[in-house]
Structures are given as structure tokens and as C-alpha cells.
Amino acid sequence: MKTFKSIIPALALLLMFGTAKANQKDDGAASRSIAINTYVDVMARGKLNGFTDVLDQSVQFSVLQGKHIVSYNKKQMLEYLQSVKNIEQDCTTNTSIVESNDFINVIKVDMHFSSGFVRSNYVTLANNGSGWKIINVYSVFN
């Protein structure tokens, strides 16, 4: 009976802390960080794990090549990335926030290559209600 009396308060505490944790709202920062970190892992390191999870179904990838813009959809980009899977780029990356609010984030991801040029990627994330997803990537080479 004494053991039973000590188990009841322990269960009550466990339920109380579990409920308190469940009621905390996530501000989305973790989800945004996961999306950007996953993007950097794909582009700089060829690590495709989890990439499709952070992409919106209608994601668009655009690259400025000279005076022309070339665009790719999700399927085309994933096919290309499969061909360069696990190939690490000789670059360092920097990220900076261009715009951030509760609905849209634009993150600039600069890839500085040892040969001297920079690939700047403007990654747009949208909060679609089930987390932050990449909806657009616009890349420029300097």
C-alpha cells in the first residue's frame, strides 16, 4: 500500500510536466532552421537526407545564367541532385536573413568557392500550417 501511495504522486507529476510541455507553442524557429540547414547540406555537401521533407510540392528553382533565367521544378531538381549526391563542394557557406515574419522568410545562402566566385541563393520559406517549407530558390553567380 505504501508503494502504491508513492506511485500516485509520481504519476501526477509526470502527467503535469507532460501536459505543460505539450501546451508550449513552437514559434517555428526550429522548423525554419531545419529547412535551411537541410538546404545547405544538399547544396554544399550533397547530403539529400530529408530534403524532400522541407520542399513544398510547388517549389521552383531559378538560376540566372547570363541574361537568361532557367527554372526547374521539384522533380527536375531532385533528378539533378541525385547525380551529384555525396559530392562535397569546395566552398564555405554563410546564411543571413533578408526578411522574416510569421508567414514568409527569405534567407540568403552564400556559397564562397575557393576559385573566387560566389553563388548567392535566395531561399524563400513559407509557413503552410504544417511547418516551414521551401517554396522558391533563386540563384545568382557573382
Task: Answer yes or no: is 71 within a domain.
Answer: yes
Tens place of pLDDT for every residue, the chain, 142 residues?
454 444 554 444 444 444 444 444 445 666 899 999 999 999 999 999 999 999 999 999 999 988 899 999 999 999 999 999 999 999 999 999 999 999 999 999 999 999 999 999 999 999 988 789 999 999 999 8
Alpha carbon 61 to chain centroid distance? 15
* Residue 16 forms part of a structural domain: no
Residue 105 contacts residue 128 (beta carbons within 8 Å) = no
Cα distances (Å, whole numbers) of residue 79 to 48, 118, 120: 11, 24, 22
Per the structure, the complete domain to which residue 104 belongs is given by 27-141
What distance in Å separates the CA atoms of residue 126 and residue 118, rounded to the nearest whole number? 25
Please check whether residue 105 lies inside any domain of the structure. Answer: yes
Structural domains counted in the chain: 1
Give a yes or no: residue 9 inside a domain: no
103 within domain boundaries: yes
Q: What is the CATH number of the domain that holds 55?
A: 3.10.450.50
